[in-house]
C-alpha cells in the first residue's frame, strides 16, 4: 500500500540572531490511508514545524516529502496543486484561518468551487458538512466573530472535509475546546476515518486524547523522534526516558 504521506530524513533549522536552532533533525515516518498518527511532544519540539513543511508553508533544509508516492518539489506548481488537493489542515485557533469579512458558508464553499463544483451544489454541500460537524445549516450565514470558539472549530473541520482530503492535519485542534465539544470532534474524526478512509496527522501535547483516537504515536523531543509505536504499548511500557517523563506529567 502506498502511504498518503512519507517523510525521509527531514531537517529544518532557523537563524536566531547569532545562533542556529535545529527545529527538526532527521525525522522519518509514513502515514497510510485510514490511519491516524499522533505526533506528541512539548511546545517547541518541532511538531508544528513539521506541519508547515508538509503543507509547503516552509521549505526543509534537507530531506524528501512524498504525497501518495509523488515527491514534493520546492516551488513546483504541480506540487502545490497536489498538496492543495490532498492535504487539509485544522488549526488550534481556527478563527485566524477564516476571512473575517466572509461568511462561514462561503469559506466552506471556496475549496469545492475551486475543484469545479457549481455554486448551488457547493452551497448545499456546505450546509450538509456543517450538519455533519454538529452545526445547523444556518451557521453558513454567520461570520467568524459571530460564533463561539468551539463552533468555529467545527466549521473549520467542515471546511477541511468538504474537499475530501486524503490527509487531514490537526494541529492542537482539540486543545482549546471544552470536554463536550472535544468528544464530538473526536467522534467525527473516527467517523471520517471509517467512512472516507481519511488519514490523520494528529498533533497534540495531550497523550490521553492521542491514546483514544490514534493508531500509532510518535514522541518528539528537541526536533527528533525518540519513540514510536502503538499508544497503549508506549504508555504502558515507555522505552525512552523523556517519554517516561512526558507520560508522568500528562496522565
Domains of the chain plus CATH, in order, are 5-102+163-249 (3.40.50.300)
Strand ranges inside 148-248, DSSP E: 167-171, 199-204, 216-221, 224-229
- Residue 77's pLDDT band, with cuts at 50, 70 and 90, is low
Task: Answer with the residue of higher pLDDT: 163 or 249.
Answer: 163
Share of the chain above pLDDT 70, in %: 97
Beta-carbon count within 10 A of 142 CB = 17
The mean per-residue pLDDT over the stretch 125-136 comes to 92
Whether the Cβ atoms of residue 38 and residue 204 lie closer than 8 Å to each other: yes
| pLDDT exceeds 80 at position 78 | no
| pLDDT exceeds 70 at position 39 | yes
| pLDDT for 73 | 73
Nearest to 167 by CA among 98, 251, 83: 83
Whether the Cβ atoms of residue 50 and residue 37 lie closer than 8 Å to each other: no
CA distance 25 to 209: 26
| pLDDT for 178 | 76
Task: Answer with the residue of higher pLDDT: 80 or 126.
Answer: 126
| pLDDT for 197 | 87
| pLDDT for 96 | 87
Task: Answer with the residue of higher pLDDT: 224 or 196.
Answer: 224
| pLDDT exceeds 90 at position 109 | yes
| pLDDT exceeds 90 at position 108 | yes
Amino acid at each position: 500500500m502506498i502511504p498518503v504521506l512519507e517523510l525521509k530524513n527531514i531537517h529544518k533549522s532557523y537563524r536566531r540572531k547569532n545562533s542556529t536552532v535545529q527545529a527538526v533533525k532527521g525525522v522519518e515516518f509514513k502515514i497510510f490511508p485510514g490511519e491516524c498518527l499522533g505526533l506528541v511532544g512539548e511546545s517547541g519540539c518541532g511538531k508544528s514545524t513539521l506541519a508547515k513543511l508538509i503543507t509547503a508553508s516552509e521549505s526543509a533544509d534537507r530531506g524528501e516529502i512524498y504525497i501518495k508516492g509523488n515527491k514534493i518539489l520546492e516551488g513546483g506548481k504541480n506540487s502545490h496543486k497536489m498538496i492543495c488537493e490532498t492535504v487539509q489542515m485544522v488549526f488550534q485557533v481556527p478563527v485566524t484561518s477564516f476571512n473575517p469579512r466572509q461568511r462561514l458558508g462561503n469559506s466552506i464553499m471556496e475549496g469545492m468551487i475551486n475543484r469545479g463544483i457549481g455554486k448551488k451544489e457547493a452551497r448545499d454541500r456546505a450546509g450538509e458538512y456543517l450538519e455533519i460537524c454538529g452545526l445547523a445549516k444556518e451557521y453558513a450565514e454567520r461570520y467568524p466573530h459571530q460564533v463561539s470558539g468551539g463552533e468555529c472549530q467545527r466549521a473549520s473541520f467542515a471546511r477541511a472535509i468538504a474537499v475530501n482530503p486524503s490527509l487531514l492535519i490537526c494541529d492542537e485542534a482539540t486543545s482549546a475546546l471544552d470536554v463536550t465539544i472535544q468528544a464530538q470532534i473526536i467522534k467525527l474524526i473516527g467517523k471520517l476515518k471509517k467512512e472516507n478512509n481519511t488519514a490523520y496527522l494528529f498533533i497534540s501535547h495531550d497523550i490521553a486524547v492521542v491514546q483514544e483516537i490514534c493508531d500509532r504515536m510518535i514522541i518528539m523531543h528537541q526536533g527528533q523522534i525518540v519513540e514510536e509505536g502503538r499508544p497503549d504499548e508506549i504508555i504502558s511500557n515507555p522505552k525512552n526516558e523523556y517519554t517516561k517523563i512526558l507520560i508522568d506529567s500528562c496522565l
